[in-house]
Amino acid sequence: MVRVGFFSAALLAAAVAFAGWSVGQGVERFRVADRSVTVKGLAEMDVKSDFAVWTLGFRRGGDDFAELQQRLAGDRQAVVAFLREQGFDEAEIEVRPLQVQDLLAREWGSQEVALRFNGQGQVLVKTARVDAVAAAANALDPLIQAGVQLDSESGGATGPRYQLRGFNELKPVLLQQATANAREQATRFADDAGARLGELRNANQGVIRVIDDDGSDMESGRTIGKRLRVVSTFQYALD
């Protein structure tokens, strides 16, 4: 009984002294009654995207349907030729069908339009060669100089989207780091309390977030670099 009382008193004293430090170190709560400590383990990992999807949209307007289609087809050929000059092969390039809308055929809207027909097309690049996509996205001047009107609304002028498809392969490493971080904090707390860290009673993996590595707190798909972040919660017994 004396040993138990001494343990509880020592633990309570250590908890009070430890409270200020624990706020910034991930110790979430400690309970004297059941001799346990709950900690949060933080892990972050900077990684590189492993896949890119780049939509080059283009559009034109006109009053002659056949002429508009011909010009759109020329724009599509110019985009495909540009991509092949940038080193992309046929398997990485996806050509979408052209679309032409007759604005006077709509059941709604004004019948007074500057140009009767509105046409657009898309060429997609899908590849694991993210560096090649980034380089090509910064070399669009020849297309613009050739008169191709890149369409920002369909993604033509807004840049590629970078993805992390190998996420599941990185997940175990990240969780292992979070677990190690939490155990280190729990061990430090137990040492300061004059106790010994016991068995793991409960664990909550938490949500692994993928965010841009540009300092933002979201994932937009615009950056090649990604940051993985997870905060896991663990409860340990104190012996």
Q: Do 217 and 122 reside in the same domain of the chain?
A: no
Last residue of a domain, one of 111, 141, 160: 160
114 plus 143 within the same structural domain: yes
pLDDT number for residue 104:
86
Same structural domain for residues 71 and 19? no
What pLDDT does residue 25 have? 52
User: How many folded domains does the chain comprise?
Assistant: 2
Looking at the structure, do residues 35 and 73 belong to the same domain, yes or no? no
Is 37 found in the same domain as 20? Answer: yes
Mark whether 122 and 138 lie in a shared domain: yes
What are the CA-CA distances from residue 1 to residues 5, 6, 7, 219 (Å)?
A: 6, 8, 10, 55
The answer to whether residues 65 and 126 belong to one domain is yes
Same domain for 37 and 58?
no
For the chain, residues with pLDDT lower than 70 are: 1-26, 28-33, 107, 109-111, 153-158
Are 191 and 152 members of one domain? Answer: no
Check whether residue 154 and residue 180 sit in a common domain.
no
Question: Would you state the pLDDT for residue 30?
Answer: 55
Q: Return all residues near 22 (Cβ < 8 A) that are at least 6 apart.
A: 30, 189
pLDDT at 155: 45
Last residue within a domain, chosen from 118, 137, 160: 160
Q: What is the CATH number of the domain that holds 202?
A: 3.30.110.170
Which pLDDT does position 1 carry in this prediction? 35
Per-residue pLDDT, 8: 46
Read off the pTM: 0.79
Shared domain for 74 and 143, answered yes or no, is yes
Give the CATH number of the domain where residue 90 resides.
3.30.70.2970
What is the domain range of residue 206? Answer: 2-48+166-238
What is the reported pLDDT for 9? 44
186/200 same-domain check: yes
Q: Tell me which of 160, 189, 206 is where a domain ends.
A: 160
Residue 6 phi/psi, 5° resolution?
-65, -40
